[in-house]
Amino acid sequence: MIMCPKPVIGVPADRRQLDPHPFHMVGEKYLKAVIDGSDAIPLIIPVLAEHLDVDEVLGKVDGILLTGSPSNVEPHRYDGEPSEPGTLHDAHRDAVTLPLARRALDAGIPLLAICRGFQELNVVLGGTLHQKVYEVAGYHSHHENPDDPLDVQYGPSHELNLVQGGLLHRLAGEARVTVNSLHKQGVARLARGVIVEAIADDGLVEAFRVDEVPGFALAVQWHPEWQTTQNDFSMAIFKEFGDACRQYASQRQV
């Protein structure tokens, strides 16, 4: 029996200064979720916009995973108000991920966006962000207590309503699920051309898929990459993404 090669999923890095040198890094939990959940090979993409051709990068991969991060999208990217002093940004990541996501959508390359990636994709498509959801009337706090143990930070936090007939509703097999929650930013104006997939118990949009693009394109605000193999819903998301990457790879090889 001929074994098909595993798809390669590109994962753009964060850029961090570990004195005195800059490093390009990706959280291990995302890499393991790609391996265990999508049955694919993760490939870390350095965020060196001035040295990388986006189309050339996309020609080497069968999917793109936009990860979460402690940093926020720079507000000038969506005409937002300046951030408070001390807010962590990553201009190098923005300079790569935003055009990379746009080109991946246009090319039909499967795309899964998580947390910061969810926010990036909303910005790419013309949406805007609340920089502090917990200060917006009507929304509750969606961020973790950093002093808690990791299992508590990533533990069940709130319920989501999954849109009837949507992708996530099909994957979950039920209308309501409970997810973790580790984000301070959130959707202010939802981008056009997307279909809402999940709404938090306070009304905040927490998942969408992109309409009228040739490939798989899903964005979620929570963290399905955390202990993926221990959660059936998370595994279903990464498997669906991996299957889309396999299908794209098979078409690309014809």
H-helix or E-strand containing 14?
strand 14-18
Alpha-helix residue ranges (DSSP H) falling in 154-199? 167-172
At 1 the three-state DSSP class reads: coil
Select which of 115, 183, 206, 245 is catalytic: 115
The span from the CA of 143 to the CA of 68, in Å, is 13
Is 142 annotated in the active site? no
Select which of 206, 223, 240, 245 is catalytic: 223
Strands 111-114 and 186-187: unpaired
- Measure the CA angle with vertex 179, ends 188 and 229; round to 5°: 130
Is 120 annotated in the active site? no
Is 143 annotated in the active site? no
Which of 94, 101, 105 is CA-nearest to residue 248? 105
Amino acid 45 reads I
Select which of 120, 144, 206, 225 is catalytic: 225
Query: What residues act catalytically?
Result: 115, 223, 225
